[in-house]
Structures are given as structure tokens and as C-alpha cells.
Amino acid sequence: MDDRSSARFEMFVRTLNFGRANAADLSPESTAHVDNLGRIIAELGKAKVGQTGGSAAAKEVLLDALRLDVRNITRTASAVGQDDPGFEKLFRRPSQPNPATLLTTADAIIANLAENPGDDTETRTIKNDRRTRFINLGLPVEFVQSLIDDRAAIDTASAAEIQGDSEGVKNTALVGKLIAEGMKECQYLNAIYHNLYTRQPEKLRAWKSASHIERAAKPAKNEEPAVPESQLTPEPSKAATPATK
């Protein structure tokens, strides 16, 4: 919610509180406008929450888990490569420290370790031998499946993030609609309270205070730079001018 909408939301709350505090002065028809404003405030509260989501934070946690999987596998592959030159080249570390490169690296590792339905017998045997080497150096028996699961979880989180962004846009549009509805109810109440309190100046002042929309503070202007002393026009000398001979 931007500053303009927030200022109106705060005004709606003050107006609602004023209406409830002075409910005895209102007819049932006028009270309906106060009730409508209460509903609008509640819906605005829900829409505000929906404008921001937590999927991005969840995705970061999943990326950290995948990063740890990849680090353990590439470190172990480097150890194997000491006696089997070239083995570590199948399991290279990410070349860049960004999510896209991490995902590409994980996909390459999975392709070199996980069996696919289309693999022939020889390929299956080779991949099984590779997995055994990692397990013999301390990685869990299910380390490949864990890698696959962590990689898939990121795709799920990305889809949720996109959905969350879409919901955020919808909620932003809803906020605008609700702000317009709230302003409409406040216009009705403004007319009602002016009519009710024409001869009650104290209550009318209280209403005007409650219905006032606070404006966002403007940033302070920079002070004028001091004029260098060298640019100041010297004042005429007050000393007497010598007489002309």
C-alpha cells in the first residue's frame, strides 16, 4: 500500500472510531455507512497482507540446501579424482555464485548419477559405480534422491513465487477498489455530520479532525549554499571623502 492509500486507510480508521463513539446521534440509515466503512477496513487489512508474500524467502532456504548438496558431491568427486583422473570433471563446481548456475550444475550432476528409463545396461552399471564411490566416502545412500528432491522443490517454489506475484497484483488492484469505496462512504458521512453538527461547533471540529487526510511530509529543501566572501559586494566606506583641491 503506497503512502497515499495508507493516509486514506488511517483516515478511514479515525472516521470509524468517530462514528462508533457518536453512534447515538445517527439514524439507522446513517449507521449503515459506518458499518460499511468497518467492512471496508477489514477487507483492506486482508488485501494489504496479500500484497507481500514469503515465497522468495522460502526459495532462498531451498537454494541453500541444494548448494550444500552440490558442495558435498563436488568436494567428494575431487577426492576420487586423485586416483581416477577426470572423474571430478563430471562433477564440476558451479562456475558462478548465482542461482541459475547452481541449478545448471545440479542438473548436470543428476544426469551423471541418476538412472533414467532410457538408459541401457552399460550406462546403468556406470552410474551405479559412480554412486558407490560417493557412498564409500561417506555420503548417504540416498544422496542422489535427496539432490533430486531438493532440485524439484526449487521449481515448485518458483511456481509458487510467480503465483504469489500474481496474487500480489490482484490484491493491489483490490486495495484501489476498496479505497474508492471507503472514500464514497466518507463522503456520505461528511454530509451527514455537517448536517447533524451545524449548531454543535465542538463536535463538528472533532469530525473535521477525524476526517482529515494527513499528507506525506515533503523532504526538507537543501539550504542555500553560503555565498563565498570573495563574491560579496563591499559596502561603501563610511569614512569621509577627502576634499578635492
pLDDT digits (tens, 9 = 90+) for 60-82: 778 888 999 999 999 999 999 99
3-state secondary structure of 34: helix
Q: Provide the pLDDT for residue 59.
A: 67
Q: Provide the pLDDT for residue 241.
A: 47
Q: How many Cβ atoms sit within 10 Å of the Cβ of residue 97?
A: 8
Q: How many Cβ atoms sit within 10 Å of the Cβ of residue 10?
A: 12
One digit per residue, the tens of pLDDT, for the chain of length 245 reads 567 778 888 999 999 999 999 999 999 999 999 999 999 998 887 777 555 544 444 567 788 889 999 999 999 999 999 999 999 999 999 999 898 999 999 999 999 999 999 999 999 999 999 999 999 999 999 999 999 998 888 887 766 554 555 455 566 678 888 888 999 999 999 999 999 999 999 999 999 999 988 765 544 445 444 444 444 444 444 444 444 44
Q: Provide the pLDDT for residue 224.
A: 46
**Helix crossing, 143-196 with 55-80: angle to 10°?**
160
Q: Provide the pLDDT for residue 104.
A: 95
Residue of 93, 90, 95, 129 lying closest to 111 (CA atoms): 90
Cα(34)–Cα(182) distance, integer angstroms? 10
- DSSP label of 177: H
Q: Provide the pLDDT for residue 7.
A: 87
Q: pTM higher than 0.95, yes or no?
A: no
- DSSP label of 52: S
Q: Provide the pLDDT for residue 50.
A: 52
